[in-house]
Amino acid sequence: MFDYSQRLARVQQTMAAQGVDLLFLNASTNLQYLTGIPRDEPNYGNTMYPGEWLTGAWVPQQGAPILTLPRMLADFHLGAIPGYDVRVLPDAGDAAALARDVLTALRTPEQAHIAVDDRSWAELVLNVQKLRPAATLSQASAILAPLRRIKDEDEIAVMRKAGEITEAAYAATLPQLKHGMTNLDLITEVNYQLRKHGSRAPSFVTAFYNMGRNYPFDFTNREEVLQIPLEPPVSVSFDFGAVYAGYCYDFGRSVFFGEPDEEYRRVHALVMASQAAGIAALRAGGTCQAADAAARQVIAEGGYGHAFRHRLGHGIGMDVHEPPFLTAGDATVLEAGMCFTVEPSIFLPRHLGARVEDVVVVRGDGGEALTRGFQGLHVVA
């Protein structure tokens, strides 16, 4: 599906341009982007293995990477990885000694410039400093983020598929909505439908934001909020997404339990018009902050500017949130192939709330939304 040898060549070219001798990528999004080696779903509690800090790839400026793995991960999680020099640490092995051997094999100089994944283990950084005390350390994002920012058409096709899965899960959830159900019921249903329709996992914690006179303004999944019955009148805003082939989706719609009044219908229409303005502003050559301003102006002119509480959106791809961001103060110039969420909202605590969210690709003549369904207000009678 993706040309990983081409990605490696681009990374090594960037390393050479930045004077980076060695790049370490842990079991992360960056490693999957570079090699196709999948990352696991996260656990609530840490699961630790001896020498886990060296799990990942050591990428030289020239030549093939070396992968280092603890025995448990090699045997039960990743298994054989064709095309790579894989070095396995036994349960009772010396992780620092294995790392030293890799540095020697890759001819890493004493005063090397070594870039490490931004979310590497502190143990990795400390051990590299011990093994190469004269080395200069930097963040791998300086190399990978600019390369990942622009999606090619193969990547966009994968994200479009993730959007199809997300919309299918939403469509299957709507008939299950009924008065008296709880956020816990909603979360359970959406996560089931995501899996059923082909998502590896939710791309982030599925959430629902309830607005009404009997409901707290709470964007968390606290137990007491999860269990409050949804009785009319209340607006319920969805926030969830699928994962497909390593890429994430982020999607939102609002529904109304009971009969919405005239104000709610007006607010919902404002949010949809705001999103349309933001999508149109995602044209190559514009800026992130200009797109935010275009969408925000619609809501401000409608009299609800104070209730649009957050940025318009964020970059998205193999991670749910990626730079740059559609927000005031971000002057990043938009380039064709960038992908953003466009997610305006109006939230008034204990009164009403409406939001919409789709992933949008920057194009030369304005944004291309990867999901376009369910534009009208859904009412749970």
Is the pLDDT confidence value at 41 over 90? Answer: no
What confidence category does residue 217 fall into, taking pLDDT thresholds of 50, 70 and 90?
A: low
Residue 324, preceding peptide bond in cis (omega within 30° of 0): yes
**Residue 222 pLDDT > 80:** no
Could you give the C-alpha distances from 285 to 92, 223, 288, 313, 362, in angstroms and in order? 55, 45, 10, 18, 10
pLDDT of 70 reads 93
The Cα 147–Cα 185 span in angstroms is 40
Compute the C-alpha angle 121/122/124, nearest 5°: 65
What separation, in Å, do the N-terminal and C-terminal C-alpha atoms of the chain show?
45
Cβ atoms of 33 and 7 within 8 Å: the answer is yes
pTM for the model stands at: 0.95
Question: Residue 80 — pLDDT band, cuts 50, 70, 90?
Answer: low
- Exposed / middle / buried, residue 24 (Cβ in 10 Å: 0-12, 13-18, 19+): buried
At 263-300, the pLDDT tens digits run: 999 999 999 999 999 999 999 999 999 999 999 999 99
Cis before 233 (ω within 30): yes
- pLDDT tens-digit profile of 160-205? 999 999 999 999 999 999 999 999 999 999 999 999 999 999 999 9
Alpha carbon distance 205, 208 (integer Å): 10
pLDDT of residue 43: 85
pLDDT surpassing 90 at residue 79 = no
Whether 348 has a pLDDT exceeding 70, the answer reads yes
* Beta-bridge mates of residue 25: 57
**More confident: 217 or 143:** 143
State mean pLDDT over 329-354: 97
Sorted by where each starts, the structural domains of the chain and their CATH numbers stand as 4-148 (3.40.350.10), 150-380 (3.90.230.10)
Assigned token pair, 344: 């305006």
Dihedral sign of CA atoms 317, 43, 202, 84 in order: positive
Nearest C-alpha neighbor of 233 from the set 248, 213, 251: 213
